[in-house]
Amino acid sequence: VKSVDLHPTEPWMLASLYNGSVCVWNHETQTLVKTFEVCDLPVRAAKFVARKNWVVTGADDMQIRVFNYNTLERVHMFEAHSDYIRCIAVHPTQPFILTSSDDMLIKLWDWDKKWSCSQVFEGHTHYVMQIVINPKDNNQFASASLDRTIKVWQLGSSSPNFTLEGHEKGVNCIDYYSGGDKPYLISGADDRLVKIWDYQNKTCVQTLEGHAQNVSCVSFHPELPIIITGSEDGTVRIWHSSTYRLESTLNYGMERVWCVASLRGSNNVALGYDEGSIIVKLGREEPAMSMDSNGKIIWAKHSEVQQANLKAMGDAEIKDGERLPLAVKDMGSCEIYPQTIQHNPNGRFVVVCGDGEYIIYTAMALRNKSFGSAQEFVWAHDSSEYAIRESNSVVKIFKNFKEKKSFKPDFGAEGIYGGFLLGVRSVNGLAFYDWENTELIRRIEIQPKHIFWSDSGELVCIATEESFFILKYLSEKVAAAQETHEGVTEDGIEDAFEVLGEIQEIVKTGLWVGDCFIYTSSVNRLNYYVGGEIVTIAHLDRTMYLLGYIPKDNRLYLGDKELNIVSYSLLVSVLEYQTAVMRRDFGMADKVLPTIPKEQRTRVAHFLEKQGFKQQALAVSTDPEHRFELALQLGELKIAYQLAVEAESEQKWKQLAELAISKCQFGLAQECLHHAQDYGGLLLLATASGNANMVNKLAEGAEKDGKNNVAFMSYFLQGKLDSCLELLIKTGRLPEAAFLARTYLPSQVSRVVKLWRENLSKVNQKAADSLADPTEYENLFPGLKEAFVVEEYVKQSLADLRPAREYPLVTVSKQWAVGNPVTTHAGQHITTLLDLEDDLDNLDLEDIDTTDINLDEEILDE
Ligand SMILES: *[C@@H]1O[C@H](CO)[C@@H](O)[C@H](O)[C@H]1NC(C)=O
Ligand SMILES: *[C@@H]1O[C@H](CO)[C@@H](O)[C@H](O)[C@H]1NC(C)=O
Ligand SMILES: *[C@@H]1O[C@H](CO)[C@@H](O)[C@H](O)[C@H]1NC(C)=O
Ligand SMILES: *[C@@H]1O[C@H](CO)[C@@H](O)[C@H](O)[C@H]1NC(C)=O
Ligand SMILES: *[C@@H]1O[C@H](CO)[C@@H](O)[C@H](O)[C@H]1NC(C)=O
Ligand SMILES: *[C@@H]1O[C@H](CO)[C@@H](O)[C@H](O)[C@H]1NC(C)=O
């Protein structure tokens, strides 16, 4: 790849190749979108002219070609030079391109004048490798040549304005610094050096050494404070553009680097190598932005500091997750390139950190208040205090902008964390120190990424690469231990913290509201944690960073990398209520409750239930289902009954019936079973309690509702055999009816068999005919006559059947009332149908007239 270019609006990278092809890649989808087979010689130069939809190429066949990248048509082609074309520069506003060549010339072409050559720039004495137009003065351009010089030219003057000399070998590449503050050029050469030039006083202000081979490309990034250099040594080096410190060396193993392209307004940088091309994204992922508790947001757009005020939005309607229409105010530019911005707790100051420096500004006017060098800066819980990490071993604490203490933590300082206690990370883990006297409070074996303290200082979240922990800080125990020196080891105060929970989620950003920890996770969820429970507020469609929570708005605010601000609603009353519950402060909870809107009550109730406060949950919930469940669990029959009445759900009645039975509330149970139409249950209840009346009602009700089995059984239990028979007939169970009659009601057999025959004849005459009616075939039914007599007799005794609930009225003979004060007399029938059947089986028909079926002692015994 001999040259690369980035399209200003499309996600396209243009690459021209040594084999004669030119490609356009979509770097978002990583697909090849267009190819131009330009020629079979190297194409060393290719540029987009976005305003014309063109790609312009220059090749070793000395031809300039112009293609329309939409139609892929070649718009124009002409011989531009008498040797290889090395570079093309497109004028930002005029219809011009500049070309440079091994013929030592630079030429200006005007496409509005039929691509005529309007000027030739002569002066170099070797190949002209690169030309670049000054972004601050479009009339000026600079050229790099293998004659070891850099020349600066004016459009309109064919001789150079001046020449910069200093490289000891051929110069391959050149670029202008585009920031307003410095008149700088950068160059790279075969002497392996990179030089920074002040083109006003024409001196070399800096030489960057490091590349091990010819330097082939250089770039001042148009926005980030970096210099990018590429070399035939295969590496790309990133240097700080003010300090000239080497920040990073990139080696992708793609052989020699030939070209680099960066773009204003983008962090993408395109690189071309012997073996291909690469797009890298430079800069920090996390935006430098911070919000104070009043909704004033400060962020850095590159070096420019800007402010947006949520209050200024007025009453504009806000939707969850939608970008907020914020007016942005410029606050001026920062002397360092901000990597982080952080308000202090009371919001009066902001600290900007970057490039190993920090500056504390007043938040209102961005006036600097203090500054210094530091690897890291953290605010204390107390707004006037902060700490800096000066090196890997020294931490300094400041109060009211004055250094209060400098100390060397025992195992070094690889990171510091602000908040209620000062956290210091080392290879050994995390150590918490008292801000006041830097006494060790507790050492914890953990490698934290972030630490978030709640406002009260009672709770702290320690987030690691894999999970996060919620700890309770026991300040009384700490105070006691400090007093008595008991329970203090070399790792600090043993009882200083209590672990409340660990959650397997990776926290990206977080904050506390009361006892609720709100965070964004690595999978782009917006969640909060309270009392061991995780509540998801939203699924985010991209990485977002929490800025803060404004209780007055009931909203959470988040920002993204592009400095868009969005918000999500989260009711402060809910958070306050949950916080109160976690603290077992039900007085407070009750005060907060009325401010929670009805539609949120059930959510709160579920939270209460999970915390084990079912009674409170029942009081709070507005969801009938949830309330019914709770009422059942709590055995609250009345409430459950009311809910069942309202819901008219058989399922609820059934559940309630069960509960009623378990509570011996049979009346209620009966009603519930009735509502539930649970006839089986009713039958069980009625028989178990010996309630004949109920069995009777049940029989009638069941029959009406077509619950035939229950109806049959209920009639049968009452000895109402006629009803049983009629039920069977009515329901078309004629064979069963016939057998019932044959067994219990012989006088009815004839009638039923007739019906049976009739019916059967419709489908099978032969089968119908083979059914014998006992009155016609008495011979086939021996003892039928006697059976009629028994039937009459038994009918009588069945009518006398007494249910168990009448037991108290029953008198039995003295001998059965041993130790029983009840006076008794014999002669009562206490029996069941089953007993009766047994009786009948054993009955000698001949004795019928003479034998009264009095229950004697034996039967009772059975
Ligand atoms: C040039 O190389 C590219 C990438 O290897 C390839 O896709 C293309 O077909 C080649 N073009 C010619 C003309 O060989
Ligand atoms: C160089 O350009 C400046 C304007 O930018 C002009 O004033 C000056 O005369 C030029 N010098 C030469 C030698 O052309
Ligand atoms: C040229 O200007 C730079 C600042 O851009 C300064 O550091 C340097 O000393 C100046 N050199 C001369 C020779 O005036
Ligand atoms: C560096 O440039 C010189 C010409 O100045 C050239 O001879 C040499 O081959 C180049 N180095 C590499 C590694 O290509
Ligand atoms: C702070 O402000 C003063 C003037 O108000 C200025 O001289 C100084 O350079 C500034 N320092 C930083 C680091 O911003
Ligand atoms: C006749 O018998 C059939 C079953 O074979 C039954 O479905 C139907 O209800 C009966 N009809 C009457 C009038 O009983």
- CA-CA distance, 774 to 117, in Å (whole number)? 130
Which class for 107: exposed (0-12), middle (13-18), buried (19 or more C-beta within 10 A)? buried
Dist. CA 169 → ligand 3 center (Å):
24
Nearest to 291 by CA among 540, 506, 535, 553: 553
Question: What size, in residues, is the chain?
Answer: 862
List residues near ligand 4 (CB under 6 A): 169-170, 190, 213-214, 232
pLDDT tens-digit map of 747-804: 999 999 999 999 999 999 999 998 888 888 888 888 888 888 888 888 887 777 777 7
Query: Is the CB of 205 inside a 6 Å radius of any atom of ligand 3?
Result: yes
CA–centroid distance, 663 to ligand 3, in Å, is 96
C-alpha distances (whole Å) from 553 to each of 109, 544, 556 are 60, 20, 8
pLDDT at 814: 53
Mean of per-residue pLDDT scores for the chain: 89
pLDDT digit string, tens, across residues 368-386: 999 999 989 999 998 899 9
The ligand with the least distance to the CA atom of 200 is 3
User: Is ligand 2 within 6 A of the CB of residue 489?
Assistant: no
Largest CA distance in the chain: 152
Contacts 24+ apart (CB under 8 A), 251-255: 252/278, 254/278
Centroid of ligand 1 to alpha carbon of 17 (angstroms): 8
Question: What's the pLDDT tens digit per position in 258-304?
Answer: 999 999 878 899 999 999 999 998 877 788 999 999 999 999 987 88
Torsion angle, alpha carbons of 814, 815, 817, 821, to 10 = 50
Of the listed ligands, the closest to the CA of 183 is 3
Q: Which residues contact 454 (CB under 8 A, 6 or more apart)?
A: 460, 512, 514, 515, 517
Residue 426 has pLDDT above 50, yes or no: yes
Task: Give dist(CA 404, CA 554) in Å, integer.
Answer: 39
What is the CB neighbour count within 10 angstroms for residue 720? 19
CA-based nearest residue to 214, from 238, 189, 246, 250: 189
Query: For ligand 6, atom 9, which residue shows the shortest CA distance?
Result: 732
CB 656 less than 6 A from any atom of ligand 1: no
Q: Give the position of tokens 């059965």.
A: 816
47-91 pLDDT per residue, tens: 999 999 999 999 999 999 999 999 999 999 999 999 999 999 999
What pLDDT does residue 813 have? 59
Q: Which atom of ligand 2 is nearest to the CA of 137?
A: 5
- Determine the residue of 138, 141, 152, 154 to mutate for testing ligand 2's pocket, defined as the one with the most ligand atoms within 8 A of the Cβ atom: 154
CA of 710 to the centre of ligand 6 (A): 21
19 lines ligand 1 (CB under 6 A): yes
pLDDT digits (tens, 9 = 90+) for 341-374: 999 999 999 999 987 889 999 998 899 999 999 9
Calculate how far, in angstroms, residue 181's C-alpha sits from the geometric centre of ligand 3.
Answer: 13
Q: What is the pLDDT of residue 731?
A: 93
How far is the centre of ligand 1, averaged over its atoms, from the C-alpha of 23 (Å)? Answer: 9
Would you state the pLDDT for residue 815?
Answer: 53
**How remote is the C-alpha of 264 from its chain's centroid?**
33
Report pLDDT digits (tens) over 301-311.
878 899 999 98
pLDDT confidence band for 849 (50 / 70 / 90): very low
Give 368 Cα–ligand 5 centroid separation in angstroms: 6
Counting Cα atoms < 13 Å in the Cβ hemisphere of 466 gives 3
- CA–centroid distance, residue 732 to ligand 6 (Å): 5
How far, in Å, is the centroid of ligand 1 from the Cα of 25?
14
Mutate which of 232, 255, 256, 274 for ligand 4? The one with the most ligand atoms within 8 Å of its CB, which is 232
Instruction: Report whether residue 355 contacts ligand 5, using a CB cutoff of 6 Å.
Output: no
Strands 415-417 and 149-154: unpaired
Q: Which residues have a Cβ under 8 Å from the Cβ of 762 and sit 6 or more positions away?
A: none
* Percentage of the chain exceeding pLDDT 70: 94
The ligand 5 atom at the shortest distance from the C-alpha of residue 334 is 14
Ligand 5 mutation pick, 353, 368, 401, max ligand atoms within 8 A of CB: 368
Contact 199, 164 (CB under 8 A): yes
Query: 360-364, 436-440, 520-524, 674-678: which range is least confident on average?
Result: 674-678
Residue nearest to atom 7 of ligand 1 (CA): 21
Residue 834 has pLDDT above 70, yes or no: no
* CA 269 – ligand 1 centroid, Å: 23
Is the CB of 504 within 6 Å of ligand 3? no
With b for 16 or more beta-carbon neighbours within 10 A and e for fewer, the 196-231 pattern comes to: bbbbeeeebeeebebbeebbbbbbbbbbbbbbbbbb
CA–CA separation, 364 vs 370, rounded Å?
Answer: 15
Q: Whose CA is nearest to atom 3 of ligand 2?
A: 161
CA-nearest residue, atom 6 of ligand 6:
732
Write down the pLDDT at residue 816. 52
Q: Name which of 118-122, 144-148, 605-609 the model is least confident about.
A: 605-609
pLDDT at residue 861 is higher than 70: no
* pLDDT > 90: percent of the chain: 62
Cα 34 to middle of ligand 1, angstroms: 12
Residue 158 near ligand 2, beta carbon < 6 Å: no
> Rounded to an integer, what distance in angstroms lies between the CA atom of residue 284 and that of residue 223?
13
Residue 684 has pLDDT above 70, yes or no: yes
SS3 assignment, position 230 = strand
Higher pLDDT, 679 or 68: 68
Among candidate residues 238, 383, 241, 350, the one with its CA nearest the CA of residue 302: 241
CA distance linking residue 859 with residue 862, whole number of Å:
5
CA of 134 to the centre of ligand 3 (A): 20
